[in-house]
Structure formats: structure tokens, C-alpha cells
């Protein structure tokens, strides 16, 4: 992998994480809106913006798509957006934020392990240490959250199991999206990462129309001010997280192998915690600082593990 491609791939992955981290502030900015209403608002706005941006080049871009590619856009939109978020919302409701974050936060580890099957990935001995460091960082953050009792109100054992199961389903859903999206980016060289992001937005927006009717039954407590904030937050998240953030992620998906791409997802958790500290007007605890340092070390270590010279040397040892 060329050094310049690796640099821009890492930079794109970090930029995507920084923008995706903003999503965690959306429920705090519009606490009156139900998760279903927030989901519908976010993805309808994403779809509308994507339609406006891709309209001038629609014919050229869609000419490169086969029926199989359209099918991939549908399942990627479901896995990475609607289904993932739906499972996450149910998980938070039944198992609490801490347990949900702990399980879903293992996405980088699962994606990196999945990517070890690729031909261009380095040996396991090279990537295992940074993956272990990332897992330790996520575990520390989860333990910190659990020790503070920041989850939802106590639930029955069955309800908790349902929540944990949904968290696992969210983890698998986003992992499938990350892997599938990377594969399809490699199969469509005539479609730019930004165009692929816009196409995903168009399909996601269309699928989000299904949520409009059920979301109308969850409007209790929505004042005029809340509606204005919902519109602003939906548009902001759609532009920065969905349109721009996804474009950066698709660029990283094209430039980095999966084992390295998985580590970039860690940045979303890192930035989400930073934004949370700013919103709550507090500093991080010692454990949170250690966890964030471990995340940074994991990313840097993984980058070094993917250097051409290091990979070649490792392969020569076998």
C-alpha cells in the first residue's frame, strides 16, 4: 500500500469518525422526540439532500450500476442505517446505554478480525496486538459506564436479555455494512466514494418513508420549539454525519484494507466521548483518559503494522 494512500485513508477514516460522533448528541438536543421520530427525520433529510446533490449526475452514475448493485444499496442502507439504529434504540431501552455501548463498541474488533481473510492483510501476529488494545479500550469504557450505573432503569431478566440480544444484532448489522460497503466500493471504480454515499442516501431516504406513519403516533410532547430543533438537528446530522461523513468513510474504505479500516471506526467512539464531555461540561475520568489513549495507540499501532516494509518482513518470517 502506497504511503500517500495510507495517509489519506487514515485521515478520511478519522474525519468520518469525527462527524459520526455528532450523532450521539442528537437525542440530547431534542429529548422530546421519540427514537422513531428522530430516525425518520434524520434519514428523510439525508435522502432529500442526497437527491438534490446527485440529481445533476444521476444518469451518468446510475448507468454504472447493475441490478445487483441496486440490491446491494438496499441491504447496505438497511444494515448500516435503519436496521442498525432500530436495534440500537431497543437495546438502549431494555439494557441501558452502558451495556449497549459496550457491545456495539466491539465493531472495530469484529471488522478487523473479519478482514484477516483478505489476501492483502498482514499476518495475525502483526494485527493481533493493536486489536487487543482496541478491545481493552472499549472494555474500559464499558466498565466505567457500568460502574457509574448510567444505564436505563432496572429491567426484568428477560427484558435485559432482549436488550443485550438487540445490541448484539446491532453489532452484527453494522459489521455486515462495514464489510459489504468496503467490498462494493472496490467493485465499482467508476463510482466515486461521494457518489456512492449519495446513492446510499437516496435509497435510505426512500426506505425511511416507511417510518413516517408509525412515527406520527409518537408525537406527544412535541412543541413548536421542539419541532424547529428536530428539523435543525435532522438536517445537521444528515449533512455532516450522513452525507459528508459517509463520503469520508467510503474514501477510507477504498484506500485501506479491512483490518486497518476496522481500527478507524474506533475514532467515532473517541469523538463521541469528547463531544459528550463538552455537552455535559465536565472533564474525563482517569479511566476514560486511559481508554482514549489506548484507542489512539491502537490506531497508530495498526497503521505501523500495515507499512509495506513491515508486512513484507513479517511474510518473510513464515
- The model's pLDDT over 204-241, given as tens digits with 9 standing for 90+, comes to 999 999 888 888 887 877 888 989 999 999 899 888 98
User: Does a structural domain hold residue 242?
Assistant: yes
Q: Measured between alpha carbons, how far is 151 from 36 in angstroms, rounded to an integer? A: 20
The CB density around residue 172, as the number of other CB atoms within 10 Å, is 17
Name the nearest CA neighbour of 292 among 273, 265, 264.
273
- Residue 311 belongs to a domain: no
The answer to whether position 291 is within a domain reads yes
Q: Return d(Cα 45, Cα 208) in angstroms, integer.
A: 10
Do the domain assignments include residue 317? no
More confident residue, 260 or 151: 260
Span 68-105, pLDDT tens digits: 999 999 999 999 888 887 787 777 667 766 567 667 77
Q: How many CA atoms lie within 13 A of 217 on its CB side?
A: 3
Q: Domain containing 298: what range? A: 1-306
Inside any domain, residue 314: no
pLDDT in tens, 138-161: 778 767 766 665 444 445 567 777
* CA–CA distance, 252 with 15 (Å, rounded to integer): 10
Per the structure, the count of domains in the chain is: 1
Whether 315 maps to a domain, the answer reads no
Cα separation, 248 vs 243, in Å, equals: 9
CB neighbours of residue 29 within 10 Å:
16
Residue 219 lies in a domain: yes
Is residue 318 domain-resident?
no
More confident position, 288 or 44: 44
Amino acid at each position: 500500500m502506497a504511503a500517500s494512500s495510507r495517509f489519506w485513508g487514515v485521515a478520511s477514516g478519522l474525519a468520518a469518525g469525527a462527524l459520526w460522533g455528532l450523532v450521539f448528541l442528537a437525542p440530547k438536543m431534542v429529548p422530546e422526540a421519540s427514537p422513531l421520530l428522530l430516525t425518520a427525520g434524520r434519514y428523510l433529510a439525508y435522502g432529500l439532500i442526497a437527491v438534490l446533490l446527485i440529481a445533476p449526475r444521476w444518469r451518468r452514475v446510475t448507468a454504472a450500476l447493475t441490478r445487483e448493485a441496486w440490491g446491494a444499496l438496499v441491504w447496505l442502507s438497511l444494515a448500516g442505517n435503519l436496521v442498525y439504529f432500530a436495534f440500537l434504540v431497543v437495546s438502549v431501552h431494555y439494557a441501558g446505554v452502558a451495556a449497549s455501548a459496550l457491545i456495539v463498541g466491539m465493531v472495530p474488533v469484529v471488522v478487523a478480525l473479519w478482514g484477516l481473510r483478505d489476501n492483502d492483510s498482514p499476518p495475525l501476529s502483526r494485527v493481533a496486538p493493536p486489536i487487543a488494545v482496541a478491545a481493552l479500550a472499549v472494555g474500559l469504557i464499558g466498565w466505567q459506564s457500568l460502574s457509574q450505573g448510567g444505564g436505563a432503569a432496572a429491567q426484568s431478566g428477560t427484558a435485559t436479555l432482549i436488550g443485550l440480544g438487540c445490541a448484539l444484532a446491532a453489532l452484527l448489522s453494522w459489521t455486515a455494512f462495514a464489510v459489504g460497503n468496503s467490498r462494493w466500493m472496490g467493485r465499482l471504480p467508476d463510482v466515486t466514494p461521494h457518489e456512492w454515499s449519495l446513492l446510499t442516501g437516496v435509497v435510505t431516504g426512500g426506505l425511511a418513508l416507511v417510518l413516517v406513519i408509525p412515527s406520527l403516533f409518537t408525537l406527544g410532547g412535541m412543541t413548536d420549539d421542539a419541532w424547529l430543533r428536530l428539523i435543525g438537528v435532522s438536517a445537521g446530522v444528515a449533512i455532516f454525519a450522513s452525507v459528508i461523513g459517509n463520503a469520508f468513510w467510503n474514501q477510507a474504505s477504498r484506500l485501506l484494507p479491512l483490518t486497518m479500516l476496522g481500527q478507524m471506526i474506533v475514532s467515532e467512539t473517541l469523538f463521541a466521548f469528547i463531544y459528550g464531555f463538552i455537552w455535559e461540561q465536565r472533564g474525563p475520568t482517569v479511566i476514560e483518559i486511559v481508554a482514549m489513549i489506548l484507542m489512539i495507540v491502537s490506531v497508530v499501532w495498526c497503521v505501523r503494522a500495515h507499512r509495506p516494509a513491515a508486512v513484507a518482513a513479517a511474510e518473510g518470517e513464515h
